[in-house]
Amino acid sequence: MTIRLITTVTALLALVTGLASAASYPEAPIVFDKPVTGVIFSHKVHMDKGLSCEMCHNRLFEMQAKKAQGNADFVMESLYQGKYCGACHNGSLAFAANTRCATCHIGVKGAKRLSDGGTQEETHEH
Amino acid sequence: MANHSAPTLNGLVSGVVDRLKSAGIGYYLLLLITLSLVLAAAGLGLLAMIRGHEHYYNVYREIPWGVLISTYVFFVVTSTGLCLVSSIGHVFGVQDFMPIAKRSVFLSIATILSGFFVIAFEIKIPWRMAIYNVISPNLTSNIWWMGTLYGVYLAFMFAEYIFLLMNKHTPAVVCGFSGSVAGIAAHSNLGAVFGLLMGRAYWQGPYMPIYFIASAMMTGCAVIIMFHILGYKLNGEKMGPDMERALEVTTKVGILLICVILFFTTWKLVAGSAGQPNGAYPVVMSEVAGHHAFNFWFFEVLIGMVGPLVLFILSRGRNLNIMLLASISMIIGIFVMRFNLVFLGQSIPVYYDLGVNEYNHLLSYSPSIYEMIIAAGGFGMTAFFFLLGEKVFDGHKVEHH
Amino acid sequence: MNKLDLNNLKNEGVENVPMQERRDFLKMGLAITGIFAGGTILSAVSTFNTANAADFAKKYPYSPHYSMVMHQDRCIDCERCMAACVATNHVPNVPGAYRTTILEKDTPDAVGGKREFIPVLCNQCNLPQCTRVCPTKATYKDQTTGIVLMNIKKCIGCLTCQEGCPYNARYFNEEKKAVDKCNFCWDTRLSKGEKDTACAHACPAGVRIFGDLSKQDDPVFKTVHQIEKAVWVLRPEAGTRPNVFYTKG
């Protein structure tokens, strides 16, 4: 509960102060491949919503891309408990992690399309 | 003219040998070319059978039937047409059609054998068919009925031809009538193979069996006209008035049937576009204005029907050169027509209306070189039999009583 | 006969009707409305793509009557089902060879999602086209389970079944020299005592629920026999009465 409160406060602060405006971030979306193939995270989509780096880094995710997928607890159950994406994707800040599955899960097909050099998925994200 | 007194075997053999000897170098060259086509097709077909069809053919999961099936359909359409049109005379007694009987029956056998030849290489395990069609028949299967009835049809046509050769008129008529019935049943079942597939809107309905029969008659007229004119050219003979009259009436029947098929085709298009029926509308649009439009308008409509219709009318059934041109054009057009029919029904994926990325577009297929050679082998076989038949059976001359 | 003269009857007024009678009348009205509402909902559901689900739910001729319900919105295209199917059923690694696959539908303008994944496999139809068109009975409906099976030694490879199938569930297997298709893992799992298919077993998201429609307490039966959530089948117009149902949630 404390984590959720802190997150909420931080998110609101970030939105108010506009800390996100000048941040630089990886252009290409991150595509996790464990424990299942093809889970997309787009920095751009999240930055465009006015979030800042510090909101997730390094508390929820380390700077090194896809490091989290090495953790044994990088599973949906953890998200439901407020870890990782679940910190915001809880149904109040952002859509709950147990809904809209195929929004982040682009699947084997989506991952393949991205690795084949297409940037379509980025455009699909809007 | 053939001798009326009972010929001896030696006499017959020496007659054949004489006729073959008298043929020119061009004849032998054509015989060689057509035979090599057949052998090349057979070789490639066997290779594909042994090493796996998927290495040689461009058909795939969503388009399982390619040019070999459409070529098979073309040949059986042709054979049925030859049988039906020629039966007007020697079975149903319309005198004008009598002179075309022998050559037509011979060619109906040649074309159906060509059809079987081609489909043997499209069916993946044909030898299992020989066994299980007999010991495990499925009576609800149109393809079972088609195969079985075409077998019966072939037997009747063989018997009919032999009786015609022997001048035994009554059994020839009986066999001809039975062959016609078997042919109509078999051929409409072939239409039903397509027409009764509930998941294929472009084919589905009673249209196909009916269309197939009308289409067979149309094709039969074209093939009769072409092969009779070619036969006389090959033998360097001039047609008698009986034969001229026969081709004139065949041309008239041909004109009628082109109109019938144009009428059918028109309503197929209207039915497939009015109300934009699911599963058929996108196909009809691709046919009329899409990527398949050239195949449809140029080959199917212009070369296959409208062009020959105009030429036949201009020829008045008498100008043999125009009629030959018209019939060749028609046969080319009809071959593409059969391809369109077989391919277009499959070109819309079964999941098209689901709107998924994999199947939100029409599918394409173009035959591989191997498929084309095997299809050409079928034509080679018909041509080979035709050439051989002209000399062996002495221009299929009809006995007069 | 004394006819009731409605025109000349004096209006008694509702105030004269005893309270109990009024209550009963209202109850009856509610009951009737309830029935009609129920009926309307049922028929609305059955005309909305689920005609098959509602109509054929009544009779399940097989025992067990194997069936699968797809919770479509749960599918994340991880394709573990496909991998499990390939491994279990020895599906060759060549293009076009699969017994089950996942289709992808983009829904860029939809509220609540950018895409949908739709798993598909043989629908084990009650009125299969494939078995009707097969010339040699190489493919047939199993009398006990209703699974559409292959007798590969009879398959002549005419591929008419592939043309007939409205679900693209069949392919020619060059290794077996016969058409191959999903058989709910009959030979590889069910007949050996396993309770589900390899794909359902491998699914991490609870998309594929395998069950038996002949048992009323089966989860698949319960999902198909409710009217709160829409249940539908693919290609109902093909009339094959499929046994694979789709739902969301």
Of A45-54, B267-276, B389-398, the range with the lowest mean pLDDT is B389-398
Q: Is A79 on the interface with C (CB under 8 A)?
A: no
Contact A124 C104 (CB under 8 A): no
Bridge pairing between strands C170-173 and C148-150:
unpaired
Partner-chain residue, chosen from B136, B199, B356, that has the shortest CB–CB distance to C137: B136
Contact C75 A102 (CB under 8 A): yes
Put simply, the answer to whether B136 touches C133 (Cβ < 8 Å) is no
A38 inside 8 A of chain C by CB: yes
C157·B123 Cβ contact <8 A? yes
> C170: nearest CA in chain B?
B61
Q: How far apart are CA B259 and CA B239, in angstroms?
A: 28
User: Does A36 sit within 8 Å of C117, measured CB to CB?
Assistant: no
For C105-127, write each residue's pLDDT tens digit: 999 888 877 899 999 999 999 99
ipTM: 0.90
- pTM to 2 decimal places: 0.86
What does the pLDDT read at residue C40?
33
Quick one: CA dihedral C130, C134, C137, C138, positive or negative?
Answer: negative
Instruction: Determine the pLDDT at residue B18.
Output: 79
Is B136 within the bounds of a domain? yes
CA distance B314 to B324: 12
Tally of domains in chain B = 1
Give the number of C-alpha atoms closer than 13 A to the C-alpha of residue B245, restricted to the C-beta side. Answer: 10
What pLDDT was estimated at residue B16? 78
pLDDT score of B7: 61
Q: Tell me how far apart the alpha carbons of residues B182 and B146 are, in angstroms, rounded to a whole number.
A: 9
B399: in domain = no
DSSP reduced 3-state for B206: coil
pLDDT tens digit string along B280-292? 999 999 999 999 9
Kindly state whether C204 is in contact with chain A, defined as any CB-CB distance less than 8 angstroms.
yes
Angle between helices B369-392 and B9-22 (to 10 degrees): 120
Residue C114 has a pLDDT of 86
Say which residue, B217 or C60, is predicted with more confidence. Answer: B217
Q: What is the mean pLDDT of residues B252-266?
A: 97
Residue found under tokens 């036949």:
B312
> Which position has the higher pLDDT, A117 or C12?
A117
- Give the A:C interface size as CB pairs under 8 Å: 60
Cβ proximity of B105 and C97 under 8 Å: no
Contact C156 B129 (CB under 8 A): yes
Question: Where do the domains of chain C lie, and which CATH numbers do they carry?
Answer: 51-90+104-127+143-148+183-247 (3.30.70.20)
Q: What residue of C is the nearest CA neighbor of B68?
A: C158
Let me know if residue B102 belongs to a domain.
Answer: yes
Are A105 and C104 a contacting pair at CB < 8 A? no
A36/C78 touch (CB, cutoff 8 Å), yes or no: yes
Taking the Cβ of residue A23 and every Cβ of chain C, the question of whether any pair is shorter than 8 Å is answered with no
Q: For B252-275, what is the mean pLDDT?
A: 95
Residues B155-161 have a mean pLDDT of: 94
Among the ranges given (A67-81, C134-148, C175-189), the one the predictor scored with the smallest mean pLDDT: A67-81
Q: Looking at beta carbons, which residues of chain C come within 8 Å of A109?
A: 77, 102, 104
Q: Which domain holds residue B318?
A: 23-351+359-394
Residue B132: count of CB within 10 angstroms of its CB? 23
Helix (H, G, I), strand (E, B) or coil at A18: coil
Instruction: Check whether C31 has a pLDDT greater than 50.
Output: no
- Taking the Cβ of residue A101 and every Cβ of chain C, the question of whether any pair is shorter than 8 Å is answered with yes
For chain B, which chains pass the contact test of at least 3 CB pairs under 8 Å?
A: C
Q: Which pLDDT value is given to residue A59?
A: 85
DSSP, collapsed to helix, strand or coil, labels residue C235 as: coil
Chain B hits for C135, CB-CB cut-off 8 Å, are 129, 132-133, 137-138, 141, 143-144, 147
Give pLDDT, residue C38.
35
Residue B394 is predicted with a pLDDT of: 78
Residue B177 pLDDT greater than 50, yes or no: yes
Can you say whether residue B64 is alpha, beta or left, with left for phi > 0 and alpha for psi between -120 and 50 degrees? alpha
Asked if C77 and A106 come within 8 Å (Cβ–Cβ), the reply is yes
pLDDT at B391: 84
> pLDDT band at C249, cuts 50/70/90?
confident
pLDDT exceeds cutoff 90 at A116:
no
pLDDT at B363 over 70: yes
A20: pLDDT strictly greater than 80: no
Distances from the Cα of B122 to the Cα of B320, C50, C135, angstroms: 37, 39, 15
Selection from A99-103, A107-111, B330-334 with the highest mean pLDDT: B330-334
pLDDT greater than 70 at residue A11: no
pLDDT digits (tens, 9 = 90+) for B97-135: 989 999 999 999 999 999 999 999 999 999 999 999 999
Asked whether residue B4 is assigned to any structural domain, the reply reads no
Report the pLDDT value the prediction gives residue A10, as an integer from 0 to 100.
60
Closest approach of chain B CAs to the CA of C137, in angstroms? Answer: 6
Q: Which residues of B touch C235 (CB under 8 A)?
A: 199, 350
Enumerate the residues of chain A whose CB falls inside 8 A of the CB of residue C75: 101-102
Mean pLDDT on C101-105:
96
Instruction: Please spell the DSSP secondary structure of C122-152, one letter per residue.
Output: ----SS-HHHHH-TT--EEE-TTT--EEE-G
Output the pLDDT for position C33.
Answer: 38
The single residue listed with the structure tokens 């199993």 is C142
Which of B75, B55, B288, B92 has the alpha carbon at shortest distance from B181? B92
B138 or A10, greater pLDDT: B138
> Residue C51 pLDDT more than 60?
no
Predicted pLDDT of residue C47? 38
Q: Does residue B380 contact residue B37 with C-beta atoms inside 8 Å?
A: yes
Q: Is A108 on the interface with C (CB under 8 A)?
A: yes
**In residues, how long is chain C?**
249
Interhelix angle B307-315/B241-273, rounded to 10 degrees, is 150
Helix, strand, or coil here: C77?
coil
C117 and A CB contact within 8 Å: yes
Query: For C156, which of B123, B140, B194 is closest by C-beta distance?
Result: B123
Q: Do C104 and B358 touch (CB under 8 A)?
A: yes
Q: What's the distance, CA B206 to chain centroid?
A: 21
CA distance C223 to chain B (A): 22
pLDDT band for B91, please (50, 70, 90 cuts). Answer: confident
Q: Do B64 and C136 touch (CB under 8 A)?
A: no
The residue ranking higher by pLDDT, B3 or B143, is: B143
Instruction: Tell whether C167 is within 8 A of chain B (Cβ).
Output: yes
Q: How far is A76 from chain C (nearest CA, A)?
A: 10
Token pair belonging to B224 = 């009769």
Asked whether the predicted pLDDT for residue C27 surpasses 70, the reply is no
Asked if C237 reaches chain B (Cβ–Cβ under 8 Å), the answer is yes
Distance from CA of C30 to the nearest CA of B (A): 40
Other CB atoms within 10 A of residue B341 CB: 23
Pairwise CB contact (< 8 Å): B144 & C132: no
* Region A2-124: CATH code: 3.90.10.10
Q: Do A106 and C115 touch (CB under 8 A)?
A: yes
Is the pLDDT at B176 greater than 50? The verdict is: yes
**Cβ contact C207:C179 at 8 Å:** no
| Model confidence band, residue B227 (pLDDT cutoffs 50, 70, 90) | very high
To which residue do tokens 């049943």 refer? B185
The Cα B292–Cα B283 span in angstroms is 9
The whole-chain average pLDDT of chain A stands at: 80
Confidence of residue C60 (pLDDT cuts 50, 70, 90): confident
From CA B151, how far away is CA B161, in angstroms rounded? 15
Binned at pLDDT 50, 70 and 90, residue A52 comes out as: confident
Domain of residue B319, CATH code: 1.20.1630.10
C205 touches A: beta carbon within 8 Å = yes
For all residues of chain B together, what is the average pLDDT?
A: 92
Q: Is the pLDDT of residue B258 over 80?
A: yes
Chain A residues with beta carbon closer than 8 angstroms to that of C73: 101-102
Give percent of chain B above pLDDT 70. 97
Chains that touch C (3 or more CB pairs under 8 A): A, B
Check whether C160 has a pLDDT greater than 90. yes
Query: How crowded is the C-beta side of C152, counted as CA atoms within 13 Å?
Result: 14
